Amino acid sequence: MTTGTKNLRRREPLTDTQLLVTITVCIFFAMYAAAMLIWGGGFLRPQKVFDLLNDNAYLLIIACGLTTVMICGGIDISVGGVTSLVAMSCVAHMNNGGSVFTGALLALGIGLAFGAVMGYLVAYLEIQPFIVSLAGMFFARGMTTIISVDPIKNANEGFAGLMKTKIEIPWLGYTARNGNLIPARMEIGVVVALVIMVIFLVLLRKTKLGRSFYALGGNQQSALMLGVNVRRTRFLAHLLSGLLAGIAGFVFLMHTGAGNASNAAGAEMNAIASSIIGGTLLSGGVGNVLGTFFGVMTLSTIKSIVVTSGLRDPWWQSITTGAMLCFFILLQSVVLSRRGRHKAHLPAWLRGGAGKQNA
């Protein structure tokens, strides 16, 4: 112990969450910078970032909900199905005389209903979240096909107007060959996604509910002893995840403009991958949505890089995603086990000098 005040003002070492999120952010920027240097072109224009955001706004929304559930130590694989069902229901509703407003309400309603039922099963009847949400996924995918096997194109003028509305940012634009200034364009869905992200950032950090999510994921038994209402907390996590899946369905429809039985195919898996890349641990208690944002961006950037580098066949993206995920989970377990608390069983050459033994 040296002088007291100095000691108190010393910077705390990063928490696990901060450490993992920092790693992801650094890797994202490094990767993006490398892409700019190597492939130039599209990557040099700010519009590239907006394109990634436009394409993945719905994924970011889903991933925020999923991150919340994963922080509690749970999982929700129904989100892709719910997104798909919402997109299909909304387009069918709005084409048959519904307004945009009632369509949005329908989206929220379906999302909340799925979240509530699954949350009840998981939290109060204590059924494995994986099984419950697997059932939810099949159910939602099935319902989507019942509404229509064929794709439905949006015919609602109000909604078409909403789809066309883009936020233009002239100073981030570029000048095309013919001399016209093309401003950077961002869809409304991106704004929705970013607002949701900020709300969840605050929710997870500043509210008692948010901290209860972390406590639950850290150690459920302890959380109970510390006075956390474990069941209600778990229920709310699934409810929020369902709600966000509903919103994501609406945003998805705003981006694509059509309902399709294969809407958002594999979105739940991409969302899980994004959360994990963003530093959320599947075992719970660690992670935040800022990391998830960078997880989504990292994943979409790498896919974009794969395409740009000439590997246009779709399987290359899958393979890269797999390799990427593998790289990140390995990195995370190495980093955490070097901190010495998480008992990952690493081979000796990875453990380095960390395995010290007090005699």
Partner 1 sequence: MENGVVLAMRKIGKVFPGVRALHDVDFTLRKGEIHALMGENGAGKSTLIKVLTGVYEKDAGEIYIDGEEGAITIRSPQEALSHGISPVYQEITLCPNLTVAENMYIGRTPGALVNWKQMEQKAGELLRNLNIPARPKQQLGSCSLAVQQMVAIARAVDGDCKVLILDEPTSSLDDKEVEMLFKLMRDLKARGVGIIFVTHFLEQVYAVSDRITVLRNGELVGEYEVGKLPQVELVAKMMGKELESLSVIKKDAQGGARAPETLYEAEGLSSSESRPFDFHIAKGEVNGFTGLLGSGRSESVRAIFGADRVTGGRVKVNGKPVRIAKPYDAMKHGIGYLPEDRKRDGIIADLSVRDNMILAMQVMKGFFHPISRADAEKFADEYIKALEIKTASQDTPVKSLSGGNQQKVILARWLLTHPQYLILDEPTRGIDVGTKTEIQRLVLKLAEEGMSVTFISSEIEEMLRTCSRLIVMRDRHIVGELTGGELTQEQVMHTIAGGGN
Least Å from the CB of residue 342 to partner 1: 9
The minimum distance between CB 2 and partner 1, in angstroms, equals 13
Q: Would you say 11 or 177 has its CB closer to partner 1?
A: 11
Residue 70 DSSP symbol: H
* HEC-encoded secondary structure of 119-179: HHHHHCCCCCHHHHHHHHHHHHHHHHHHHCCCCEECCCHHHHHHHHCEEEEEEEEEECCCC
Q: Which of 223, 244, 254, 296 binds partner 1 (CB under 8 A)?
A: 223
User: CA angle, corner 297, sides to 15 and 241, nearest 5?
Assistant: 70
- The residue among 159, 139, 338 whose CA lies nearest residue 254 is 159
Binding to partner 1 in span 158-217, by CB under 8 A? 205-212, 214-215, 217
By CB under 8 A, tell whether 222 contacts partner 1.
yes
Does 227 bind partner 1 (CB under 8 A)? Our answer is yes
Is residue 359 classed as helix, strand or coil in its secondary structure? coil
Kindly tell me which of 153 and 206 has the beta carbon lying closer to partner 1: 206
Least Å distance between CB 353 and partner 1?
A: 17
Written as six digits, the tokens of 142 are: 């099935």
Burial class (CB in 10 A: 0-12, 13-18, 19+), 61: buried
Of 167 and 198, nearer to partner 1 (C-beta) is: 198
Which is nearest to 107 in space by CA: 90, 125, 127?
Answer: 90
Return the number of the residue (222 or 262) whose C-beta is nearest partner 1.
222
Nearer to partner 1, 103 or 210 (CB): 210
Q: Which residue from 226, 258, 319, 330 is in contact with partner 1, where contact means CB under 8 A?
A: 226
User: Which CB atom, from 205 or from 312, has the smaller least distance to partner 1?
Assistant: 205
**What is the token pair recorded at 146?**
């019942």
Return d(Cα 103, Cα 162) in angstroms, integer: 13
Least distance from partner 1 to the Cβ atom of residue 109, Å: 25
**177/341 with CB nearer partner 1:** 341
Provide, rounded to whole angstroms, the least separation between the CB of residue 286 and partner 1: 6
200: enclosing H helix or E strand: helix 188-206
Find how far residue 201's CA is from the centre of its chain. 13
> Rule CB under 8 A: is residue 239 a binding residue for partner 1?
no
Write the binding mask 303 to 342 for partner 1: x where contact by CB under 8 A, - elsewhere.
Answer: ------------------------------------x-x-
* Residue 32, φ and ψ in degrees, nearest 5: -65, -40
Kindly state whether residue 292 participates in binding partner 1, applying the rule CB under 8 A: no
Stretch that binds partner 1, among 14-22, 34-42, 79-87, 298-306 (CB under 8 A): 14-22
User: What CA–CA distances, in Å, run from 60 to 35, 144, 200, 257, 327?
Assistant: 22, 22, 12, 19, 21
Q: Which residues ranging from 110 to 129 are in contact with partner 1 (CB under 8 A)?
A: none
Q: Work out whether 17 is an interface residue with partner 1 (CB under 8 A).
A: yes
Q: How many residues bind partner 1 (CB under 8 A)?
A: 32
Burial (Cβ within 10 Å: 0-12, 13-18, ≥19) of residue 102: middle
- Does 221 contact partner 1 by CB under 8 A? yes
What is the C-alpha separation between 358 and 320, in angstroms, rounded? 42
**Residue 210: closest CA among 230, 235, 237:** 237
Q: By rule CB under 8 A, what string of x and - marks binding of each residue 257-286 to partner 1?
A: ----------------------------xx
Least CB distance to partner 1 at residue 346 (A):
15
Interface residue with partner 1 among 107, 228, 237, 261 (CB under 8 A) is 228
| Residues that bind partner 1 in the complex, under the rule CB under 8 A | 8, 12-13, 15-17, 205-212, 214-215, 217-219, 221-223, 225-228, 285-286, 339, 341, 357-358
